[in-house]
Amino acid sequence: MRRPNAVVALVLGILSFVGFGCLTGIPAWIIGNTTVREIDTLGGDPTERSMAVAGKVLGMVATLLFAAGVLIFLILQVFMLSAFSSTPRTTFPEPYNEGQSQRPITSAPPSSD
């Protein structure tokens, strides 16, 4: 019995690595899994089974790599936002000079006599 879904799973799995990521990786995973189950239950050509397994594995790997890439991207975004959005300190404390007396702070300006 001919199953064209094995070829479809393989093509979708290959396309998921070419640049379509999850758009074709998830369908390759699902179609490949369904086709392998059908071939195991009803019998079929071992070549079709191997194409379905290859499409399923390619879809799984591409989907997981895409998810890992998105996760790394989000972690980097959070890191960049936290690193560059903190308010810098605008005033610095005056240095402490040991041995020198501190000048008292007066509220009145000096008189001009």
Query: What is the per-residue pLDDT across 49-108, written as a single tens digit (0 to 9) for each?
Result: 999 999 999 999 999 999 999 999 999 998 888 777 666 656 656 665 565 555 656 666
Domain annotation covers residue 33? yes
- Reading the block at residue 40, the tokens are 């195991």
Domain annotation covers residue 78? no
Query: Given the structure tokens 């560059």, which residue do they identify?
Result: 84
Domain annotation covers residue 57? yes
Domain, as residue range, for 33: 4-68
User: Distance (Å, rounded) from C-alpha 91 to C-alpha 97?
Assistant: 18
The model scores a pTM over 0.75: no
End-to-end Cα, the chain, rounded Å: 114
Could you give the 3-state DSSP secondary structure of residue 97?
coil
Q: Where are the beta strands (DSSP E) in 39-113?
A: none
Distance of CA 71 to the CA centre of its chain: 2
Domain tally, the chain: 1
Instruction: Report, as an integer, the average pLDDT of 31-52.
Output: 90
Domain annotation covers residue 103? no
Please report the pLDDT score of residue 79 as a whole number.
86
User: Distance (Å, rounded) from C-alpha 72 to C-alpha 100?
Assistant: 54
